Amino acid sequence: MQKITFIERVLHKIYVSTEKLRVNKNKRSLLKDDFTIISNNCWGGMTSEAYGLRKNSPTVGCYFYADDYLKFIKRLDYYTSIELKFIDVESAKHKEWIFEDGAENVPIGKLDDVEVIFLHYKDKVEAKSKWERRCKRINWNNLIFKFSKQNHATENDLRTFDKIELWGGKKIMFVNDPMSQLKCALFYPGYENESYVWNDTFWGHRYFKVTDFLNTGTIKPEKKSIIGMFFETL
């Protein structure tokens, strides 16, 4: 697994604590700011915060295992319209993976055959309330989908995400193969010799022009220096 150095952790903490200084500049660079990011993990919520935007997506603060994420996005209208229920970890089909991730004590949501791991929620009440509220905010005319080689994603899962049409929305996928030929793939450095992109949220905006992608769907690789992240717009 990629090792995050002590200096990087300190710089990241400073970066997050000073984010408000950059928010207005980032927000002004957007053509539209009412998009909905349907993410497989916390990247979508992190991006909304970086631009100072209201969270218009139910997937903020939670994650999906890859097989469930693909089911969820293929029938997004269905899964966001049914009642969110909760199960205990012993009943979860991904029980083994949940324990591996140390997420056995967080709320585990269930939407028919899809499980949602509410990693950053204190209890089921908060998780259900925010899920339902944010489902109503989905902008079906400006959807953005983000996936990654994470949470037990297979090569076939990556190919599936690359091929499917998703409500006319923009797509991006973080991969650990620098030679990937998948159309919506972005190489995420540091995990070339790993099975997965273990952490794509620590410096989740570092490796491409985020604003260009949000505005047009164009994926332009660009590795920013860590210090440069403090001063550049996304």
Q: How far apart are CA 225 and CA 230, in angstroms?
A: 9
- Please give the distance of CA 14 from its chain centroid, rounded to a whole number: 22
User: For residues 45-70, b (16+ Cβ closer than 10 Å) or e, as one string?
Assistant: bbbbebbebebbbbbbbbbbbbbbbb
Domain encompassing residue 185:
30-230
In-domain check, residue 8: no
144 lies in a domain?
yes
Average pLDDT, the chain: 92
CA distance 59 to 134: 8
**Counted domains in the chain:** 1
135 belongs to a structural domain: yes
Whether 204 shows a pLDDT value over 70: the answer reads yes
The confidence band for 2, taking pLDDT boundaries of 50, 70 and 90, is low
The whole-number pLDDT of residue 223 equals 83
Q: What is the pLDDT of residue 231?
A: 62
Non-local (6+) Cβ contacts of 134 within 8 A are: 55, 56, 57, 58, 60
* Residue 12 is assigned to a structural domain of this protein: no
What pLDDT score was predicted for residue 4?
A: 67
Q: Model confidence over 150-186: pLDDT tens digits?
A: 999 999 999 999 999 998 899 999 999 998 999 999 9
User: For the whole model, what pTM was predicted?
Assistant: 0.91
- Domain membership of residue 191 (yes or no) is yes
Question: Per the domain annotation, does 20 fall within a domain?
Answer: no
| Rounded average pLDDT over 31-47 | 96
Q: Is position 13 within any domain? A: no
Distance CA 230, CA 181 (A): 31
Euclidean distance between CA atoms 59 and 50, whole angstroms: 16
The 10s digit of each residue's pLDDT in 132-143 is: 999 999 999 999
CA dihedral 85, 87, 93, 98 (to 10 degrees): 110
Q: If you average pLDDT over residues 68-84, what whole number do you get?
A: 98
Task: Please compute Rg for the chain using Cα positions.
Answer: 17
Q: What is the pLDDT of residue 1?
A: 47
Nearest in space to 233 (alpha carbons), one of 42, 27, 18, 17: 27
The closest of 41, 124, 38 to 85, measured between CA atoms, is 124
pLDDT at res. 232: 65
Distance CA 63, CA 61 (A): 7
pLDDT in tens, 86-133: 999 999 999 999 999 999 999 999 999 999 999 999 999 999 999 999
- Determine the pLDDT at residue 24: 84
Question: How far is residue 38's CA from residue 52's CA, in Å, rounded to a whole number?
Answer: 17
Question: Which residue, among 34, 51, 2, 4, has the nearest Cα to 205 in the 3D structure?
Answer: 51
